[in-house]
Amino acid sequence: MTQAPSHVQTLSGQSPPLWRLLQATASAVQATRQGRSLTAQLESVPHELRPGVQALSFQALRQLGRATALRELLAAKTPPPAVDALLCTALALCWNDADAPYPIHTLVNQAVEAARKQRQTQAQSGFINACLRRFMREHDTLVRQTDTDPQSQWNHPRWWVERLQTDHPQHWQQLLTLAQKPAPMTLRVNTRFHAVAAYQQQLVAMGVSAQAVGQQGLQLTKALPVHLLPGFSDGHVSVQDAAAQVAAPLLMQDMDATKSWRILDACAAPGGKTGHLLELYPQAHVLALDVDESRCERIHQNLQRLALSAEVRAADAGQPAQWWDGNPFDAILLDAPCTASGIVRRHPDVRWLRRPTDSGQLAKTQAALLKALWPLLVPGGRLLYCTCSVFKAEGDETVQAFLQRNTDALLHLSPGHLIPGQAPIGLPVEHNPLGEHDGFYYALLEKRQG
């Protein structure tokens, strides 16, 4: 077997057998097809296998559309789920020789070995071997046959491709192409400790190159473990995408940082935006909510690292009667639940987990949250509505419907959907994230006085 790449080396320096990595990767693909998130699935993977399985799973899920189309040509009927997952995993990893993590013959041999050593696939190991050997013999012809299938070409469900074509006729290809690339690692410099340029120089001294993005961001040319970041454990820097860094300064722009503003972070976990708000407005009283108690613990951990304090409560933001004390808020951040279609490059399983109806159902949840939280805002106060989605049903359409129903609401500022690589319209230049940021939607609403 070919020596494993560095990302699958264990702490002892020994490489786990590739067939074990392929078994676990195939299990991740099967779990995704059955509706389980990759993040949750990886937590069940043995620690020594996890780095390699994560890397292979990301690649397999980014190429699953092509792999599924190839499998349909190789097999007259769909094999059992575990067999299909292993076969598609092997095809996803080896169909494009230029991107294959191992030599093709090694992947094929080890995929067959993985089948032989697993109860659910053992009886079908000969079938898997026959399919993969045929694929190697007829590679060019089979790949050409799948080139015209949109799901195969773009490695996203057909409905997803069609929706982007409708919502973003000028940028749909760019969005789909970027989704196939690993996301950059972007830092948010805590300017209570360092100027952005000063922290950038610390990275340069370590041999780490970074480009300034937005107000406080540094986008690294190569990701590195957080424990290697200077001052990370002391809150000097956080990992946060450039588009997500827009939220806190946009909500609070031109507001006096010395005042004790009452701020609600309505869907706060894991706490990145909560921490950013308090870095910029340390005198503010922030109530951070999340419906999941375990996710509230993540907020606590993030704030503890930053040496910041907020009131954190496990509660449903859409049910204020259960948690609101009756005192209105000066500002509300509503990072609403969404399809996460804007962060698919960080979570390649999302494209296969979502269904065509999800966006419409989530839009109802978003509308319900806006309706519930709007009365909690003081006259003249602001509510920043955002989602990490590029689907318009979860952005422009939701906000326009809300404005039509609420005559006391003004659209103070709406840069709309932030498309990676495109300068957003109407966003003050100091907030412009630039670079290869995630897809986001922002609308800043203001409540009329009187």
Domain residue spans in the chain? 6-155, 186-239, 244-447
Query: What average pLDDT score do residues 280-295 get?
Result: 95
pTM: 0.92
Start-end of H helices in 138-246: 139-146, 150-154, 158-167, 172-178, 196-205
Q: What's the helix, strand, coil split of the chain in %, to 5? A: 50, 15, 35
Number of helices and strands in the chain (H, E)? 19, 11
pLDDT level of residue 7 (50, 70, 90 thresholds): very low
- pLDDT tens digit sequence for 381-430: 999 999 999 999 999 999 999 999 999 999 998 888 898 877 777 777 77
pLDDT at 6: 39
The whole-number pLDDT of residue 13 equals 54
User: Quick one: pLDDT at residue 8?
Assistant: 46
User: Does 10 score more than 50 pLDDT?
Assistant: no
- What length is written for the chain? 450
Q: What is the pLDDT of residues 121-164, one digit of tens each?
A: 999 999 999 999 999 999 999 999 999 999 999 999 999 999 99
Place of tokens 């978003």: 366
- 2-21 CB burial, b ≥16 within 10 A, e <16: eebeeebbbeeeebbbbbbb
Instruction: Work out the angle between the directed axes of helices 358-373 and 396-405 (0-180°, nearest 10).
Output: 40
pLDDT of residue 12: 43
Q: Is the distance from CB of 308 to CB of 331 less than 8 angstroms?
A: no
Q: Is CATH 3.40.190.10 the right assignment for the domain spanning 244-447? A: no
Query: Cα(356)–Cα(170) distance, rounded to whole angstroms?
Result: 21
Alpha helices for 308-384 (secondary structure H): 350-353, 358-373
Phi-psi region of 72 (alpha: psi -120 to 50; beta: other; left: phi over 0): alpha
**262-265 and 329-335: which strand pairing?**
parallel
Question: Given 1.10.3720.10, 3.10.110.10, 1.10.940.10, 3.30.2420.10, which CATH number is that of 6-155?
Answer: 1.10.940.10
CATH for 186-239 is 3.30.70.1170
- pLDDT-derived band at 3, boundaries 50, 70, 90: very low
pLDDT in tens, 53-89: 999 999 999 999 999 999 999 998 999 999 999 999 9
Q: Contact, 432 vs 423, CB < 8 A? A: yes
Separation between Cα atoms, residue 276 and residue 192, nearest integer Å: 11
CB atoms within 10 A of CB 184: 22
* Res 415: pLDDT: 81
Residue 417 phi, psi (nearest 5):
-80, 125
At 62, which helix (H) or strand (E)? helix 50-62
Residue 271, sorted as left (phi over 0), alpha (psi -120 to 50) or beta, turns out to be left
Distance of CA 55 to the CA centre of its chain: 15
SS3 374: helix
From CA 336, how far away is CA 369, in angstroms rounded? 8
- Of the candidates 94, 267, 338, 388, the residue annotated as catalytic is 388
Q: Among 43, 36, 81, 38, which Cα is nearest to 62's?
A: 38
The Cβ of residue 73 has, within 10 Å, a number of other Cβ atoms equal to 16
User: For 319-359, what is each residue's pLDDT tens digit?
Assistant: 999 999 999 999 999 999 999 999 999 999 999 999 999 99
DSSP-assigned beta bridge partners for residue 210:
220
Q: Determine how β-strand 186-189 pairs with β-strand 237-239.
A: antiparallel
Q: What CA dihedral angle connects 439, 226, 62 and 5, to 10 degrees?
A: 160
Helix (H, G, I), strand (E, B) or coil at 188: strand
The H or E element spanning position 104 is helix 104-116
Three-state secondary structure call for residue 103: coil
| Structure confidence by residue, pLDDT tens digits, 176-229 | 999 999 999 999 999 999 999 999 999 999 999 999 998 999 999 999 999 999
**What pLDDT, on the 0 to 100 scale, is given for residue 124?**
96
Give all strands of the β-sheet with 377-387 in edge-to-edge order: 311-314, 285-290, 262-265, 329-335, 377-387, 440-447, 409-418
Decide if 386 is catalytic: no
The DSSP 8-state label assigned to residue 337 in this structure reads: -
DSSP labels for 397-439? HHHHHHHHH-TTEEEEEEEEEE-TTSPPTT--GGG---SSPPP
CA–CA separation, 383 vs 266, rounded Å? 10
Which tokens is 244 given?
């997500």
Mean confidence (pLDDT) of the chain: 93
